[in-house]
Amino acid sequence: MIRIGQGFDVHRTVSGRPLRLGGVTIPCEFGLDGHSDADVLLHAVIDAVLGALGLGDIGHWFPDTDPRYRNSNSAELLQAVMRHPDIVGWRLVNLDTTILAEAPRLAPHIAAIRRSLAQLLDAAPEQISVKATTVEGLGAIGAGQALAAQAVVLLEPCPIVPSAAAAAN
């Protein structure tokens, strides 16, 4: 059995915050506004993983009304999701993502973002696709007021290897 999940996220641009995409800090004059670090790509990936397994969404798992998640590192949120008992028995077959941004130019950062995602998902970079596109000046993204990302994951079951402590019992 395989499971497919799709995720989408969008955040407003703001000055005075770093821009993080896929766990990578991108040199830029703006960042994204959000309760956490507002990494739209990681948020879309989290939603895709959770959606594939029917486990809700990022807002359910890490509500923006909970002060514990204020300024959270989204990479840590993804790692927490991937360690959850309902997800440990699944592994990534592949991840396909698209970042929608008029600026900054993301092509020079795609390889680093792929490596970061691969590391966070315990996968090979070849299992990860990261694309970036503009929206031809249309809407809030085209006006530079927001960035968005979408992600699609394919997951397959994997055997759970007992830990050394569990094996000793």
Residue with tokens 């300024």: 71
Residue 159 confidence (pLDDT): 74
Q: Is residue 166 part of a domain?
A: no
Q: Is residue 57 part of a domain?
A: yes
CATH number for the domain that contains residue 47: 3.30.1330.50
How many other C-beta atoms lie within 10 A of the C-beta of residue 120? 20
Residue 169 confidence (pLDDT): 47
Residue 19 confidence (pLDDT): 97
Question: Structure pTM?
Answer: 0.92
What residues in the chain have per-residue pLDDT under 50? 164-169
Q: Is residue 165 part of a domain?
A: no
Q: Is residue 163 part of a domain?
A: no
Q: Is residue 169 part of a domain?
A: no
Q: Is residue 161 part of a domain?
A: no
Q: How many Å separate Cα 74 from the centre of its chain?
A: 7
Three-class SS of residue 149?
A: strand
Q: Is residue 164 part of a domain?
A: no
Number of domains composing the chain: 1
Q: Which domain holds residue 55?
A: 3-156
Residue 44 confidence (pLDDT): 98
Distances 21 to 12, 41, 66 between C-alpha atoms, Å:
14, 6, 23
Q: Is residue 167 part of a domain?
A: no
Q: How many Å separate Cα 9 from the centre of its chain?
A: 9
